[in-house]
Structure 1
Amino acid sequence: MVAPLSAAARPEIPAPPPATPPTITALTPTTLASTYEANRANATQAADMAAAHGDPHRATADRALASPSRNLLTYDGRGTGRATEVLGDLPHATNVAVLVPGSDTSIDTYARFHKAASALYSDLTARSTTPTHTHPHVAVIAWLGYETPATVSTTVTTTTRADEAAPRLRTFIRDLHHLTPASARITLLCHSYGSVVCGRAAPGLDADDIALIGSPGTGADSVADLHTRAHVWSARGSNDWVSHVPHTRISLFGKTIGLGTDPVFRAFGARVFDAGDADHSGYFTPGSTSLANLARITLGVPSEVTRA
């Protein structure tokens, strides 16, 4: 409980205004390189300001994102921070995975989010070059486009933050199609509270697949209630503590508490796949059953996905 509570109590960390707009509407494949460069420079400036403010932890996190090897579509180091990072050659990617994170994800904890994205990208790259697959170009996007709730908070039990994030995610996915080939498949991989964000964004979301992993619920009672054309998948590892979360909704003092039906329940109607023995933070562990199935979903080979 110490980490999220102490993080909430930290003073505001200074950072420059973003170098690029928070949306990618005006971006084109030819302006990606300059956008990446501008955001890396912005992250460097943010690191210097955080260090001068006496926050070496944030300075280190900013500086890691400013590395020449990192490609940031968007970056905002103010407050808890926002970032959209690309792994792979986006303009040529035929299969794109967008990771939507859960609670306690911020610039301060971004390293673990990046680790998950990197593990998926490595797995996808290895699979896409085998004789059985014809997807030589893959990309992974780590989308930290909203203020995630703290795990130890009442906010995490409501859809409030997800309702704020949903329009941004829907817009991002729509604009992403302008940066990828017309035939590109886009898959959303939504972890923990990120699955609530994906659930609230689902109506009208221009994606091929939505995978809900370690989900406390989506705010909906069934796949039909999501009103999406995307194939909806769900999984929970056998060691994930979220299985003990009550999947219900109640009204309390005029506010709805709880996130509804468990997405791995048959009644929800999702395609339930095997996540092995993953714990709540282990869905992207290299070599794991869950990572293999997430890669197969991203590559659009549902027949190879092992079911629970």
Structure 2
Amino acid sequence: MATRTQFGRLRRTLLAALVGAAVVVPMSGAARSESVPAPAPAALGPLRAATCASDVAARYAADRDGVRAAERMAAGHGDRRRAAALRALADPARRLLWFDGRDGGRSAEVLGDLCRADRIAVLVPGSDTSFEEYGRLRDGAVALHRELGGRSAVIAWLGYPTPSMLSLSVLTPSRAGAAAPALRAFVDEVNAARPAARISVLCHSYGSVVCARAAAGLPVSGIVLYGSPGTGFDDVAALRTTATVWAGLGARDPIGRVPHVRLRLPFVTLGFGTDPVSPRFGARTFPAGDAGHSDYLEPGSVSLANIARIVQGRSPSEGDTHA
């Protein structure tokens, strides 16, 4: 029989779900089109530092062809919204290092010259991110790339089926556990293409759970958590990473009101435990200003400026942290 303490924790976890829904539901569009057919992706060769330019050029061309084929299939299926999203993604100015339109879709879009970059940031998004709702992720990547300036590259990594904020999966680590190997493999590829670059993973909301699961042995200099509900780990030491772990929380982000609990039930674990900006977690905190849950990479914001400084290997500017 559950104890009174367990019932109290369960109530707090359910409250977390309600608060989380208030954060994301107003921004959510239609559900991900997971049933839309798409062709299998083309077989792509490995990325190598010695032939990086030709390797990525071949990737960009093959993936553009793949997007166009997926667009035709989506249109034939009658999903005009998916077809429109893919049509935008197939623009000749866009550069996809990876694309798979099946099962909801996966992609990795590059801003900047990957093969000449000294600083590379991989953005790992949170819940309700899909091709149809991709604009927020790409806008953040564009803003960060502009903030970083020359000899930088930013990669918008939509590499896993993000959970819906209206589903139980957003309260459990199951999607993150499945996504972590894909993130490790992708970062390993980027590191092979540009081994001299400083690589950081920037992890928003549920994406911080993904990054935490992938952290051990990940060849990155920094892991940046922002708008995080927790990572599923008690502290930085449990991540088993040599990277510097940073955490930031905006003053207007409702995720700060989510109870940071982790409740282990017979068939599922709910919640993600320690608040990453708390002293107990042990991350280095950075000022995120008055950012709301989806505002961390807004042009001109304190949070964007400080995240860019971290990617560059510089200390964030001094200011008030919301911890």
Query: How far is 1:52 from its partner?
Result: 1.9
Conserved 8 A contact 2:99-2:108: yes
Q: Which residue identity does 1:84 align to in structure 2? A: A
Conserved 8 A contact 2:34-2:103: no
Query: How far is 1:306 from its partner?
Result: 4.9
Residue number in structure 1 paired with 2:39: 16
Residue number in structure 2 paired with 1:224: 237
Task: Output one character per residue of 1:96-132: Cα deviation in whole Å (capped at 9) or x when no partner.
Answer: 000000001111111221111111111111xxxxxxx
Unpaired stretches in structure 1, ≥5 consecutive residues:
126-135
Query: How far is 1:3 from its partner?
Result: 8.0
1:167 to 1:293, Cα distance in 2 relative to 1, 3 A: same
2:228 aligned residue (212, 215, 226): 215
Residue number in structure 2 paired with 1:250: 263
Matched, 1:298 2:311: yes
Cα distance between partner residues in 2 of 1:199 and 1:183: 24
Aligned residues, how many? 294
Residue number in structure 2 paired with 1:118: 142
Cα distance between partner residues in 1 of 2:189 and 2:103: 25
Matched, 1:238 2:251: yes
Task: Output one character per residue of 1:180-205: Cα deviation in whole Å (capped at 9) or x when no partner.
Answer: 1x321001100000000001111111
Unpaired stretches in structure 2, ≥5 consecutive residues:
1-24
Residue number in structure 1 paired with 2:156: 142
State TM-score, norm by structure 2.
0.86
Partner SS for 2:137: helix
Q: Which residue identity does 2:153 align to in structure 1? A: A
Structural RMSD (CA): 1.8
Conserved 8 A contact 1:4-1:152: no
Moved over 3 A (4+): 1-6, 24-28, 303-307
Matched, 1:170 2:184: yes
State TM-score, norm by structure 1.
0.91
Task: Output one character per residue of 1:206-251: Cα deviation in whole Å (capped at 9) or x when no partner.
Answer: 1000100000000111111111000000001111111121111112
Cα distance between partner residues in 2 of 1:25 and 1:90: 15
Cα distance between partner residues in 2 of 1:194 and 1:204: 18
Query: How far is 1:45 from its partner?
Result: 1.6
Conserved 8 A contact 1:97-1:187: yes
Cα distance between partner residues in 1 of 2:161 and 2:129: 8
Cα distance between partner residues in 2 of 1:57 and 1:86: 23
Moved more, 96-105 or 73-82: 73-82
Q: Which residue identity does 1:67 align to in structure 2? A: D
1:115 to 1:243, Cα distance in 2 relative to 1, 3 A: same
For CA contacts below 8 A with separation 6 or more, give which structure has more relative contact order.
2
Residue number in structure 1 paired with 2:7: none
Matched, 1:83 2:96: no
Query: How far is 1:257 from its partner?
Result: 1.1
Conserved 8 A contact 2:287-2:316: no
Partner SS for 1:162: helix
2:201 aligned residue (167, 188, 198): 188
Cα distance between partner residues in 1 of 2:316 and 2:82: 43
Residue number in structure 1 paired with 2:166: 152
Task: Output one character per residue of 1:278-297: Cα deviation in whole Å (capped at 9) or x when no partner.
Answer: 11010010000000001000
Cα distance between partner residues in 2 of 1:305 and 1:61: 40
Residue number in structure 2 paired with 1:286: 299
Cα distance between partner residues in 2 of 1:112 and 1:290: 16
Partner SS for 2:121: strand
Cα distance between partner residues in 2 of 1:66 and 1:52: 17
Cα distance between partner residues in 1 of 2:70 and 2:127: 23
1:25 aligned residue (46, 49, 68): 46
Task: Output one character per residue of 1:19-38: Cα deviation in whole Å (capped at 9) or x when no partner.
Answer: 245xx735641221121011
Matched, 1:41 2:65: yes
Cα distance between partner residues in 2 of 1:295 and 1:108: 27
Residue number in structure 1 paired with 2:76: 52
Identity of aligned residues (%): 51
Query: How far is 1:88 from its partner?
Result: 0.7
Query: How far is 1:79 from its partner?
Result: 2.5
Conserved 8 A contact 2:110-2:155: yes
2:131 aligned residue (107, 110, 128): 107
Q: Which residue identity does 1:170 align to in structure 2? A: R
Query: How far is 1:254 from its partner?
Result: 3.2
Alignment of 1:195-206 (within 5 A): 195-206=208-219
Partner SS for 2:185: helix
